[in-house]
A and B are shown apart, each in its own frame.
Chain A
Amino acid sequence: MKPLELIEHETGVPVAADTPLESLGLDSLEFLDLVNSIECYYSIKLPSNGVAILDTVGDLVNLIGAERDS
């Protein structure tokens, strides 16, 4: 599953790269559940300093890509 599809699957919300993260309807703890799901699915660890500066779903997808490539 591609990151965008995984985010849609986990949140139940249709998303695009420019979707603001706050539009996902997740509070901070639910967002961390999403992060945990992503980390488990791809066997990666997203850096907290990278997560803290995310604005959009596209930013999150890019961060996932960077961690998968590293």
Chain B
Amino acid sequence: MIVSYQVEPWAGALDELRPLLLGHWLEVDPDQATVPLAPDWGRLANIDQAGALVLITARDIESRSLVGYIVTFLSHHIHFSTTLFGFVDAFWLHPEYRKAVTGICLFTELEAEMKRRGAVKLIAQSKVRDDINIGAVYKFLGWSEAETVFAKVI
């Protein structure tokens, strides 16, 4: 299974993205019973139309099917308004494609595209569950651990 990595228009990939987002949520979200998946597609479209949504995709070269993605928002930070940041919103690779360098390639593509667009700093999170914790990928790519995020259903 050979995979290609590229930047794609959000609107063009949306029909293929929807089922993957569902698989993503089912795999990783521990609070599914209380917090249902309900993407705000209109808001996402607005962000895209403003040029602030960057979609990196992974596709199977033979079938051309979508097998992974990184969705990132490009924005000036509210505390550092002169600096363009990339806020990674979501990333996922189909389990069958989590081989060798695929995760590394997705994020390498992201870094190149965000640099091309003028971003200076990238912010991303990682799940803490061992089988989906990609902290090692970040560190290999030169990222440093900056914060720990906590969550609570109330």
Q: Which residues of A contact B (CB under 8 A)?
A: 21-22, 24, 26-29, 31-33, 35, 48-49, 51-52, 54
A65 CB to closest chain B CB (Å) equals 18
CA of A24 to CA of B136, assembled, Å: 19
**B108 / chain A contacts, CB cutoff of 8 Å:** 48-49, 52
Chain A interface secondary structure, helix, strand, loop or mixed? helix
- 4 more contacts with CB within 8 A, not counting A26-B100, A27-B99, are A21-B99, A21-B100, A35-B140, A52-B104
CA of A24 to CA of B108, assembled, Å: 22
CA of A64 to CA of B30, assembled, Å: 40
Q: How many residues of B contact A (CB 8 A)?
A: 18
21 intermolecular pairs with C-beta atoms under 8 Å apart = A21-B99, A21-B100, A21-B101, A24-B100, A26-B99, A28-B93, A28-B98, A28-B137, A29-B103, A29-B134, A31-B104, A32-B136, A32-B140, A33-B136, A48-B140, A49-B108, A51-B104, A51-B140, A52-B101, A52-B104, A54-B101
- A-B pair count, CB < 8 Å, reads 52
**A31 / chain B contacts, CB cutoff of 8 Å:** 99-101, 104
B11 contacts the other chain (CB 8 A): no
A11 CB to closest chain B CB (Å) equals 11
Q: Which residues of B contact A (CB under 8 A)?
A: 1, 93, 98-105, 108, 133-134, 136-137, 140-142
CA of A31 to CA of B140, assembled, Å: 11
Inter-subunit contact A48/B134 (CB<8 Å): no
Top 8 nearest A-B pairs (CB, nearest first) are A28-B103, A21-B100, A52-B108, A22-B99, A27-B98, A31-B100, A32-B136, A48-B141
**B142 / chain A contacts, CB cutoff of 8 Å:** 48
Residue ID in chain A nearest B137 by CB atoms = A28
